[in-house]
Structure 1
Amino acid sequence: MLDALTIAICVAALALAAWCGYAAYRDQPTKDWHFIGMAVVSLLALVQLVVGIVQLAQGEEPGQGSTIFVAYLIGSFATVPAAGVLSLAERTRWGSATVAAGGVLLAVLEVRLIDIWGG
């Protein structure tokens, strides 16, 4: 695992969560700028997914098993896009709150990925 990439994803996800949480506080739905932020965070998660798969293909093993590691990689990649789709369905402040929750969830999943990889 690349620790710098994981930290960057955590910081970006928490920044997105704060940004969308502030929009929810102001009673605003997600806007185009929020979706650009979601795209950046999702791109970082995609890079981590690819790096994790490549490391597994090169023979490196996570401390707690490959299956759970891949499941967490896929889950962390899918978290923000799923929250974005749900926010499109709910065009109120709760759409922004959903994306904020997705950002916090992604940060938690990233911390768990570090734990899984290190054993």
Structure 2
Amino acid sequence: MLDALTLTLGAAALALAAWCGFAAYRDQSTKDWHFIGMAVVTVLALAQLVVGIVFLVRGEQPDDGKVIFVSYLLGALAAIPAAGLLSLTERTKWGSVTVAAAAVVLTVLEVRLTDIWGGFSA
């Protein structure tokens, strides 16, 4: 798959996790700036979904199967928006904790997506 996009998305997700984790440490809920960060990460996940589908249409095959690959791509796309919605209902530091946790989960999903595809290309 596209290694640069996967690494960028993983790094952006870790940055969002640190940012929201710091807000939770300071006993703050998610603010508008956090939602802008969530939007950036979500756009990167959407780009990854599109690139992944294009690769599949071109005939490239993930090592562990198409269904699992597409399922992980959809899960990666849904992780941050779902946490963002939950953080809107919990306007305490726990909303920030929820987004930070989802960003860590997204990073783990990125590692797993790389593994499903067959690792980084040489």
Pair 1:85-2:85 in alignment: yes
The two structures have a TM-score, normalised by structure 1, of 0.99
Give 1:29's aligned residue. Answer: 29
> How many angstroms apart in 2 are the aligned matches of 1:4 and 1:23?
28
How many equivalent pairs are there?
A: 119
CA-CA distance at 1:97 after TM superposition: 0.3
**Structure 2: runs of 5 or more not aligned:** none
Alignment of 1:1-119 (within 5 A): 1-118=1-118
> How many angstroms apart in 1 are the aligned matches of 2:50 and 2:78?
13
The DSSP-based 3-state class of the residue aligned with 2:61 is coil
Overall identity of the aligned pairs, in %: 72
**Structure 1: runs of 5 or more not aligned:** none
The root-mean-square deviation of aligned C-alpha atoms, in Å, is: 0.7
CA-CA distance at 1:95 after TM superposition: 0.1
> How many angstroms apart in 1 are the aligned matches of 2:28 and 2:62?
41
CA-CA distance at 1:23 after TM superposition: 0.3
User: 1:13-61 CA distances to partner (integer Å, 9 max, x unpaired)?
Assistant: 0000000000000000000000000000000000000000011011111
> How many angstroms apart in 2 are the aligned matches of 1:56 and 1:89?
37
